[in-house]
Amino acid sequence: MGMHRFTHVDPQTIVVTDTTITSLSFGEILEGMLPERPAPVPPGTNTPGDLNHEGLYEDINSNSLLDFSDVVVFFNQMDWITENDPVSAFDFNKKSRIDFNDIVILYNEQ
């Protein structure tokens, strides 16, 4: 699957803006549900970042880096994330839940 560059028109619509990186046509409109983005994880106020655009949000503290602070926030806020954010955004081991192995995987990625 190739990379795509889009402009978000509304929560269900996106428009292709760069045809050099996709097989879609410029201005082509795609409709459907876009992936849910996670909310800021306390004590942060910014949305976590998906640094490598694979659908997993490793920059949990939103400082544009993957560092040990992300691991600490993830550990401290596991329950909050499970209750308030899409689990799939932080499910690094793909077991449909957030568990300690996800923290270990994030730690090993930094």
Same domain, 30 and 45: no
Whether pTM exceeds 0.75? no
Same domain, 51 and 75: yes
Same domain, 45 and 90: yes
Could you tell me the CATH number of the domain that includes residue 66?
1.10.1330
Domain that holds residue 2: 1-34
The per-residue pLDDT for range 14-62, each reduced to its tens digit, is 555 555 555 555 555 555 545 568 999 999 999 999 998 888 999 999 9
Q: Are 58 and 51 in contact (CB under 8 A)?
A: yes
Q: Rounded to whole angstroms, how far apart are CA atoms 97 and 78? A: 10
Same domain, 41 and 90: yes
Which residues touch 7 (CB under 8 Å, ≥6 apart)? 14, 15, 17
The per-residue pLDDT for range 53-88, each reduced to its tens digit, is 888 999 999 999 999 999 999 999 999 999 999 999
In the structure encoding, which two tokens stand for residue 17, read together?
A: 């803006």
How many structural domains compose the chain? 2
Same domain, 54 and 70: yes
